[in-house]
Amino acid sequence: MILAPCALYFYLAHPDWSWLYLVDSARVPRLAVITVLAAQGGALVGGYYGAAKLVRGGKEVALRFTLAGAGALILILMLFLRARLTHYGTYAQFHGGRALPILDVKLGYVLIAVLIGVGAAAGVVGYELLRDGRRAAAR
């Protein structure tokens, strides 16, 4: 409920940044957003299903390592892509060295708000899953 509208906004309002300046968004059809949202939804459902299967199988340690590995992978990707993540402009501006720092444009402040919202939502979901898991284990 939080991620899909955010992804839709970033894709439609800031397409070059969303593609991390790897492709010129002018060459990508706007309807590609359907594929992007479907992939995001599939990853969400697949991750939830996989985590539930590990918990049901008594493999919480494997789940913790998987989550830690996914977090580490995201941090590594962010490190390698930091120049693309922390600048804003068009595809041509980025590749021409004229992209602005992200906090000099509205997108920087939107990202801060989105990160706070997504972090809060993830915390609530994690808490609820932990609570429900303990309740299920007590039965």
Task: Give the model confidence (pLDDT) of 70-80 as tens digits.
Answer: 999 999 999 99
- For position 105, what pLDDT does the model report? 94
Residue 7 has a pLDDT of 86
Once rounded to an integer, what is the mean pLDDT over residues 75-93?
A: 95
Under 8 Å between Cβ of 64 and 51: no
Alpha helices in 14-105 (DSSP H): 15-18, 32-56, 60-80, 82-85, 91-95
Q: Please report which confidence band the pLDDT of residue 99 belongs to, taking 50, 70 and 90 as the band edges.
A: very high
The structure's pTM equals 0.78
Q: What is the mean pLDDT of residues 62-73?
A: 90
Q: Tell me, what's the pLDDT at 84?
A: 95
Res 52: pLDDT: 80
Distance CA 78, CA 84 (A): 9
- 20 — phi, psi (to 5°)? 55, 30
Coil, strand, or helix at residue 87? strand
Are the CB atoms for 17 and 10 separated by under 8 Å? yes
